[in-house]
Amino acid sequence: MFSATRPYIARLDSEHETQLSALLCGLGKSSRINRFGHAASDARVQRYAKEAVARAAYMAGAFDADRLIGVVEVFATCDGVAEVAFAINAGIATLRMFIPRNNWPMRQLAHKAGARLDFDLDEIRADVSVATAASLDVAA
């Protein structure tokens, strides 16, 4: 769970490689298989972390105190598609997204992730089980 200090989000770069590696190596077996497509070894995950911080178009992490507890990775492809991957490992049960009502691609993404949707005036609150979100690897 979160500590008494306020969690924060920061952009990740090469100085965070060790923390990213620890987060990804700490994923449970099923989350690791869902995230990497196979039961990646710790050595493979560590190589991935090194490559990811070097080539990601954007990478941000959620921190509780100084511990990385979640990450979003964005990779640009040559055909104008952005690949996005999420990983969360912090005892968090739900990922909550706030989506403008007219953002149909994000609404479809939330639906694909099995989100429970609550409509409120100008936005939609989408709650996704972390068991699903942690392994969600989508192109948007």
**Sites in the chain below the pLDDT cut of 70:** 1-4, 90-91, 131-140
And the tokens for 47? 């190589």
Per-residue confidence (pLDDT) for residue 4, from 0 to 100: 56
Per-residue confidence (pLDDT) for residue 27, from 0 to 100: 86
Per-residue confidence (pLDDT) for residue 41, from 0 to 100: 92
CATH number at residue 39: 3.40.630.30
What percent of the chain is predicted at pLDDT more than 90? Answer: 37
Per-residue confidence (pLDDT) for residue 19, from 0 to 100: 95
In terms of domains, do 3 and 49 share one? yes
Per-residue confidence (pLDDT) for residue 3, from 0 to 100: 52
Per-residue confidence (pLDDT) for residue 75, from 0 to 100: 92
In terms of domains, do 48 and 109 share one? no
Range of the domain at 127: 93-140
In terms of domains, do 113 and 85 share one? no
For 97-124, the pLDDT digits (tens) are 899 989 999 899 888 888 998 998 889 9
